[in-house]
């Protein structure tokens, strides 16, 4: 989710710049081909990353990406105003607290205790005020990280791993699961980076808001990827 917010921020920078130009001009605003390429690249990256969480959001981004620009000639582009407006709506949503909470609706795993834990984690994260609160939410995120690993570390995964993995080694169990279950290189790469972000944070106290939010984003996104791969 940290990567999702980063891409959304980059796109928001372009969006705000061109919105100001559009509002101040009666004529179509020409978009340089270099900006077209950068915006499309960010949309592609955002579409790929959101597909693990919300296929609907990913499809909306794909539609925006396809129809956002209208060619007026070689290397000359203007915006499709309708899709430009849709992009603004999507970006505002992705950067809102509402998106963080709605993730719980997007991720519906086969395990009710995991679903309940995700929902509670996101609700609690929006009600913290003190260092102790941050740490308590961090503890809940760490528990969710371990629960996810234990859910998917099946006898088949264990046999395929070819080694003994401790029941407390969530990182090892998750890596073994993705190695056994996933055949998509992009999914494996994204899962690896998400585990890499989440695992160190599960061994440290979340005494600051930034660290707490980073941990939550990593663990919740990981739950989305696990859910997608497990159901595939």
Looking at the structure, tell me whether residues 137 and 171 fall in a common domain: yes
- Residue 212 pLDDT exceeds 80: no
Looking at the structure, tell me whether residues 126 and 192 fall in a common domain: yes
Give the model's pLDDT for residue 80.
96
Looking at the structure, tell me whether residues 113 and 223 fall in a common domain: yes
Looking at the structure, tell me whether residues 171 and 88 fall in a common domain: no
Other beta carbons less than 10 A from residue 75's beta carbon:
11
Q: How far apart are CA 230 and CA 232, in angstroms?
A: 6
Looking at the structure, tell me whether residues 43 and 153 fall in a common domain: no
Contact 153, 170 (CB under 8 A): no
Query: What predicted TM-score, i.e. pTM, was given to this entire model?
Result: 0.57
pLDDT tens string 69-119 = 999 988 899 999 999 999 999 999 887 767 766 666 677 889 999 988 888
Other beta carbons less than 10 A from residue 108's beta carbon:
13
Q: How far apart are CA 24 and CA 8, in angstroms?
A: 24
Looking at the structure, tell me whether residues 63 and 147 fall in a common domain: no
Report how many domains make up the chain.
2
Looking at the structure, tell me whether residues 77 and 117 fall in a common domain: no
Looking at the structure, tell me whether residues 123 and 35 fall in a common domain: no
pLDDT tens string 106-150 = 778 899 999 888 888 877 776 666 767 777 777 888 889 999 999
203-220: b (≥16 Cβ within 10 Å) or e:
eeebeeeebbbbbbbbbb
Q: How far apart are CA 108 and CA 228, in angstroms?
A: 10
Query: Which helix (DSSP H) or strand (DSSP E) does residue 22 occupy?
Result: helix 2-23
Domain boundary among 77, 95, 113: 95
pLDDT tens string 178-202 = 999 998 888 888 888 888 888 876 6
pLDDT tens string 21-37 = 999 888 889 999 999 99
Q: How far apart are CA 34 and CA 13, in angstroms?
A: 15
Residue 73's domain comprises: 2-95
């Amino acid at each position: 989710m940290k990567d999702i917010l980063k891409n959304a921020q980059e796109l928001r920078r372009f969006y705000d710049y061109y919105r100001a130009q559009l509002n101040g001009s009666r004529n179509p605003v020409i978009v340089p081909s270099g900006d077209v390429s950068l915006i499309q690249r960010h949309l592609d990256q955002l579409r790929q990353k959101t597909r693990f969480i919300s296929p609907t959001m990913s499809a909306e981004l794909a539609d925006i990406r396809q129809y956002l620009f209208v060619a007026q000639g070689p290397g000359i582009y203007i915006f499709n105003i309708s899709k430009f407006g849709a992009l603004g709506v999507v970006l505002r949503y992705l950067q809102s607290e509402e998106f963080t909470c709605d993730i719980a609706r997007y991720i519906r795993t086969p395990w009710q205790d995991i679903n309940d834990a995700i929902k509670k984690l996101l609700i609690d994260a929006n009600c913290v005020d003190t260092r102790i609160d941050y740490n308590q939410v961090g503890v809940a995120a760490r528990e969710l990280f371990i629960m996810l690993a234990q859910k998917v570390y099946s006898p088949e995964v264990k046999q395929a791993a070819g080694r003994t993995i401790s029941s407390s080694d969530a990182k090892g169990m998750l890596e073994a699961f993705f190695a056994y279950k996933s055949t998509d290189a992009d999914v494996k790469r994204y899962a690896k980076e998400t585990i890499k972000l989440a695992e160190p944070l599960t061994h440290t106290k979340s005494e600051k808001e930034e660290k707490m939010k980073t941990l939550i984003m990593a663990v919740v996104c990981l739950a989305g990827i696990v859910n997608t791969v497990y159901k595939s």
